Copies of this chain bind each other. A is one copy, B any other.
Amino acid sequence: MRHPEAKTRLPTLGEEPGVLLPVSGNGAEAGDGVPLIRLLDYGPERCEETQFRSIAEGLAYQPKGKVQWLNVYGLQEPEVLKVIGDRFGLHPLVLEDILNARQRPKLEDYGSYLFFAARVFHYQEGSGRLGYHQVYLVIGKGFVITFQNQSIGLFQGLRDRLHSGKGLARQRGADFLAYSLIDAIIDDYFGVLDAFTLRVEKADSTLLGNRDNGVLRTIHRLKHDSLRFRRALLPLRDALNQATRGDHPHFGDESRIYLRDAYDHTLHLIESLESSRDMVSGMLDLYLSNQSNRLNVQMRVLTVITIIFMPLTLIVGIYGMNFEYMPELHWRYGYFTVLAGMLVISSLLGYYFWKKRWI
């Protein structure tokens, strides 16, 4: 049971907080390791997408639409992040959080913008392990910046809708964009929780056929996964609840109704997760009780066999004794009488145990 979150990164060990260090080994690359920055600049009438090749190019860009959505992938380069942070006036701690690949879900108010951190899960192709990606949102007046390690297609649907101009998204402001992004994150959970439920059901159906500890390992892994989901969903719920309550001026009343809906979906996700967890717990009980049942059956068989054979063995032992004077030995049908007697005894015992339902 290798601990999936074993290596705790020491964020600022011996370093001042707010100093940005590259995170190596996160494998967060978009093609050639160069961070990929994409801008969607849109309003009710138009939507334009620009992909920046260099930082200078980005700084030179003049926004045209009502809302700007800056999508940044791959963050090994603290330099790039620093430039973006300076451009939008982000606090050093926000940048440090973004570089830190193990941020817990949260919503923080920095006055002129909100910082939202979330986590999306997926089952890895080969190992079947549960992996995750961090997603960060900076929600400001008229703009939203999203940060991801890799392009995982999370916001593809929203991008398509913005391009095609279908739906409300292009009519509304940056707060509705932020909501739509959060909604996309929540939708992603529905998918991965379905996959989780399927795994639970599969484990359940092979539960009683197995004898080894493999099942137990599987149960514990499922339990562990459910705890990881839980640990991501509970702070997400709290963050959405906080956003819904109206403490932040960044969300308008209309968007807040939508956020309440997103909050409701998280509650739903959590309940669905709890339901799966109950099932996993039930599996553990069932497995242990089944082991105990099996032991019972084996012991019953052993006891019955012993009780039937021991008297018979004693009888044949008796007539194997070498006493000079043993009258039965000389009877004409002694041997057959004994055989018949043994048959009767074993039949009676067998019948008795059959009646007692021990066989």
Task: Name A residues whose Cβ lies closer than 8 Å to a Cβ of B.
Answer: 1-3, 5-19, 91, 93, 96-97, 102-104, 106, 108, 110, 156-157, 161, 166-169, 180, 183, 187, 190-191, 193-194, 197-198, 200-201, 204, 208, 211-213, 216-217, 220, 223-224, 227-228, 231, 257-258, 260-262, 264-265, 267-268, 271-272, 274-276, 278-279, 282-296, 298-303, 305-307, 309-314, 316-326, 328-335, 338-339, 357-358
Contact = CB atoms under 8 A, between A and B. Distances in A.
Interface of A is mostly: helix
A28 to B, nearest CB: 20
A80 B12 CA distance: 34
Nearest to A321: B319
Contacts of A307: 301-302, 305
- Give 4 nearest A-B pairs by CB, closest first: A316-B317, A16-B167, A14-B157, A319-B321
Contact of A329 (B102, B298, B318, B322): B322
Contact of A193 (B8, B17, B278, B296): B8
Contacts of A224: 278-279, 282
Nearest to A19: B167
A289 B322 contact: no
A265 B8 CA distance: 11
